[in-house]
Chains A and B, each alone.
Chain A
Amino acid sequence: MKLETLLLEKRSNIVTHWLDLIFETYPPDAQRFFKSRADRFDNPVGRTITEETEKLFDQLLRGDEAGLENISPALENIIRIRATQDFTPSQAIGFIFLLKRSIREVLKKEMDHKDILEDRLRFESRIDDLALTAFDIYMKYREKLYEIKADQAKKQVSGLLRQKGLICEVPEWRPIS
Chain B
Amino acid sequence: MADVPKPKELVKIRHSPPFLTGWMNTPTEIKQGIACYAGKPKNLEYVGLPNPREWSPFDADWKLPPNWKKIILDGLRERLEKFRSLKIFMDICVRCGACADKCHFFIGGGDPKNMPVLRAELLRSVYRKEYTTAGKIMGAFAGARELTEDVLKEWWSYFFQCTECRRCSVFCPYGIDTAEITIIGRELLNLIGLNTDWISAPVANCYRTGNHLGIQPHAYKDMIDFFLDDIEDITGIRLEPSFNRKGAEILFITPSGDVFADPGTYTCMGYLMLFHYLESMGLDITWSTYASEGGNFGYFTSHEMAKRLNAKMYAEAKRLGVRWILGGECGHMWRVVNQYMDTFNGPADFLEEPVSPITGTKFENAKSTKMVHIIEFTADLIKNNKLKLDPSRNDNLKITFHDSCNPARGMGLLDEPRYVIQNTCKYFYEMPENTIREQTFCCGSGAGLNAGEDMELRMRGGMPRANAVKYVHEKYDVNMLATICAIDRAVLPDLMKYWVPEVDVTGVHELVANALILEGEKKRTTDLRGEPLPGMEDMDEEEGAEQTEGAEA
Q: Interface of A with B (CB < 8 Å)?
A: 26-30, 32-34, 36, 38-45, 48, 80-81, 84-86, 141, 144-145, 148-149, 151-153, 155-156, 158, 160-161, 164-175
In the complex, the chain B residue whose C-beta lies closest to that of A145 is: B455
22 CB contacts below 8 A, A to B, read A26-B110, A27-B112, A30-B112, A44-B464, A80-B498, A81-B463, A84-B459, A86-B31, A145-B33, A148-B498, A151-B494, A152-B452, A152-B455, A152-B494, A161-B223, A164-B219, A165-B219, A166-B216, A167-B216, A168-B209, A168-B216, A175-B45
Interface residues of B (CB under 8 A from A): 19, 21, 31, 33, 42-43, 45-46, 100-101, 106-112, 115, 201, 204-205, 208-209, 213-216, 219, 222-223, 260-261, 432, 434-435, 451-453, 455-456, 459-460, 463-464, 467-468, 471, 490, 494, 497-499
Q: Is the CB of A41 within 8 A of B214?
A: no
Considering the complex, give the chain A residue whose CB is closest to the CB of B218: A166
- Tally A-B pairs: CB < 8 A: 138
Bound-state CA distance A85–B110 (Å) is 8
Task: Find the residue from B19, B45, B223, B455 having the highest chain A CB count within 10 A.
Answer: B455
Give me 11 other A-B pairs in contact (C-beta within 8 A), A81-B463, A167-B216, A169-B214 excluded.
A28-B112, A33-B100, A84-B108, A144-B497, A145-B459, A148-B459, A148-B497, A149-B455, A156-B452, A167-B213, A175-B45
Once the chains are docked, how many angstroms separate the CA of A149 from the CA of B494?
9
Q: Establish whether residues A169 and B205, one from each chain, have CB atoms under 8 Å apart when the complex forms.
A: yes
Taking a contact as CB atoms under 8 Å apart, the answer to whether A33 and B498 are in contact is no
A155 with B498: CB separation less than 8 A:
no
Chain B residues contacting A152 (CB-CB under 8 Å) are 451-452, 455, 494
Question: When the two chains form the complex, which single residue of A41, A155, A168 contacts B432, counting CB atoms closer than 8 Å?
Answer: A41
A86/B109 contact (C-beta < 8 A), A29-B100, A42-B101, A161-B219 known: yes
B205 A170 Cβ-Cβ under 8 A: yes
The reply to whether A164 and B213 form a contact with Cβ atoms under 8 Å apart is no
With contacts A43-B101, A84-B463 taken as known, whether A149 is within 8 angstroms of B453 at the C-beta atoms is yes
B204 partner residues in chain A, CB cutoff 8 A: 170
Query: A151 contacts which chain B residues (CB < 8 A)?
Result: 494
Most B CB within 10 A of own CB, among A81, A151, A167, A170 = A170
With A84-B109, A161-B223 already in contact, the answer to whether A153 and B467 are too (CB < 8 A) is: no
Nearest residue (CB) in B for A33 is B101
The 4 residue pairs across chains A and B that have the minimum distance between CB atoms: A166-B219, A30-B110, A152-B452, A44-B467
Q: How far is the CA of A86 from the CA of B31 in the complex (A)?
A: 9
Q: Please, how many angstroms separate the alpha-carbon atoms of A110 and B67 in the complex?
A: 67
Do A170 and B107 contact each other (CB < 8 Å), given the known contacts A45-B463, A148-B494, A156-B452?
no
> Is there an interface contact between B223 and A41, defined as CB atoms closer than 8 Å?
no
Task: Check A27 against B464 for contact (C-beta < 8 Å).
Answer: no
- Say whether A41 contacts B497, CB under 8 Å: no
In the complex formed, the residue of A with least CB distance to B209 is A168
A145, B456: Cβ atoms closer than 8 Å: yes
Task: Looking at the assembled complex, report how far the CB atom of A110 sits from the nearest CB atom of chain B, in whole angstroms.
Answer: 34
Chain A residues within 8 Å of B463, by CB: 44-45, 81, 84
Q: Closest Cβ of chain A: how far from B351's Cβ, in Å?
A: 30
Which residues from A are CB-within-8-Å of B208? 170
CB-CB < 8 A to B110: which residues of A?
26-27, 30, 33-34, 45, 85-86
| Contact (Cβ within 8 A) A149 B452 | yes
Kindly state the separation between the CA atoms of A158 and B21 in the bound complex, as whole angstroms. Answer: 46
B42 touching A171, Cβ below 8 Å = yes
Q: Which of A29, A34, A169, A173 has the most CB of B within 10 A?
A: A29
Contact B19 A30 (CB under 8 A): no
Q: What residue of chain A has the Cβ atom nearest to residue B219's Cβ?
A: A166
